Chains A and B, each alone.
Chain A
Amino acid sequence: QVQLVQSGSELKKPGASVKVSCTASGYTFTRHALNWVRQAPGQGPEWMGGINTNTGKPTYAQAFTGRFVFSLDTSVTTAYLEISSLEAEDTAVYYCARDQPPYYYYGMDVWGQGTTVTVSS
């Protein structure tokens, strides 16, 4: 079945980096863009941006430029989110989610289970 499986929870100190993975299965990876969504504790979801899985071109929301990098390894159908110079405010659950085919404006139909990143000294 179509699924996205994310890497496990992370506990990091301020200033460190973290790399979250999102592995796709059950569909052709390069046909549908992947999005990254952040949800801080007690808050709503926030769209961070996405990556074209065919070309590798990322798109970032303004609030997520600079310390955030989206990347791919198509050989293992995996997308990555790397956050550098972590701050306490980066503590959140991070989700990957697929653009529903055939059009991006159909919303996000398949979501990973979420990866909790906790930043604490």
Chain B
Amino acid sequence: DIQLTQSPSFLSASVRDRVTITCRASQGISSYLAWYQQKPGKAPKVLIYAASTLQSGVPSRFSGSGSGTEFTLTISSLQPEDFATYYCQQLNSYPRTFGQGTKVEIK
């Protein structure tokens, strides 16, 4: 199985901060990676797919990059509604594993 390792696991930041989350795959997955945001008690919501394509309706302050084994999710200017947990997921092969998550909290 492909393992995804996110860093950091926890991040404390302020409104308007630039935030970067990294996801590393245990083997190459081309660009078959999605990023999700999850708030407490809610289902995950896709933000980015194919590593760098912004999902329709998602604010442009979110961006994704990378290919192969290293990927990043960047929030250019953190907003109050962005405090949540973020997960990466690989869609290169079965099982479609998730990273362990990065919780973004208010500083």
Contacts and interface: CB of A to CB of B under 8 A. Distances in A.
Interface residues of A, number: 24
B95 A104 contact: no
Q: What does DSSP make chain B's interface, helix, strand, loop or mixed?
A: loop
Interface of B: 1, 32, 34, 36, 38, 43-46, 49-50, 53, 55, 85, 87, 89, 91-92, 94-101
Contacts of A107: 34, 36, 46, 49, 55, 89, 91
Interface stretch (A12-20, A69-77, A83-91, A110-118): A110-118
A113 to B, nearest CB: 7
A112 B43 contact: yes
Given A95-B43, A97-B43, A106-B34, A44 B101 contact: yes
Given A44-B85, A49-B94, A62-B1, 11 more contacts: A37-B44, A44-B101, A47-B96, A47-B97, A49-B95, A63-B95, A104-B91, A107-B91, A108-B46, A111-B45, A112-B43
